[in-house]
Amino acid sequence: MSTPNAEITELRAQVAELSERLAALSAQVASLSAAPALPYSVAGAPEPAENAVTEELLITIAAAVAAYLGKRAPIRHVRLIGSTSWAQQGRVNVQASHGLTVKHTK
């Protein structure tokens, strides 16, 4: 069994080591927060095509799916389709919600 003085010396050495690591990490965080943020589009990077699915859109879809399901789900395939049926159905719902009555007069 080690003596109390040896244990105290060992603990002091561990505290000194942890203090050095904390100082190094603090310096690293300070240098990272002082660095300028990169702009969203990097110069020279190709712009996405008009109908392309961007990374931002994929993140949004993943967040919506996770919120709906209550857990993360893998997104295997995403593609844009050129259907107007969603827009048409939306217009039908809006028009049906007004509940307009038509007066027939002779």
pLDDT in tens, 84-95: 787 888 888 888
User: Residue 68 domain-assigned?
Assistant: yes
Structure tokens at 102: 């038509």
User: Residue 67 domain-assigned?
Assistant: yes
User: Residue 22 domain-assigned?
Assistant: no
User: Residue 18 domain-assigned?
Assistant: no
Q: Which residue, among 78, 79, 60, 57, has the nearest Cα to 68 in the 3D structure?
A: 60
Size of the chain, expressed as the number of residues it contains:
106
How many domains does the chain divide into? 1
* pLDDT cut 70: percent of the chain above it: 78
User: Residue 59 domain-assigned?
Assistant: yes
Report how far apart, in Å, the C-alpha atoms of 52 and of each of 34, 78, 92 are.
34, 10, 29
pLDDT band at 17 (very low <50, low <70, confident <90, very high): very high
Q: Which domain holds residue 62?
A: 51-78
Considering the chain, what is the average pLDDT of its residues? 79
User: Residue 74 domain-assigned?
Assistant: yes
User: Residue 32 domain-assigned?
Assistant: no
CB atoms within 10 A of CB 53: 13
Query: What pTM was computed for the model?
Result: 0.32
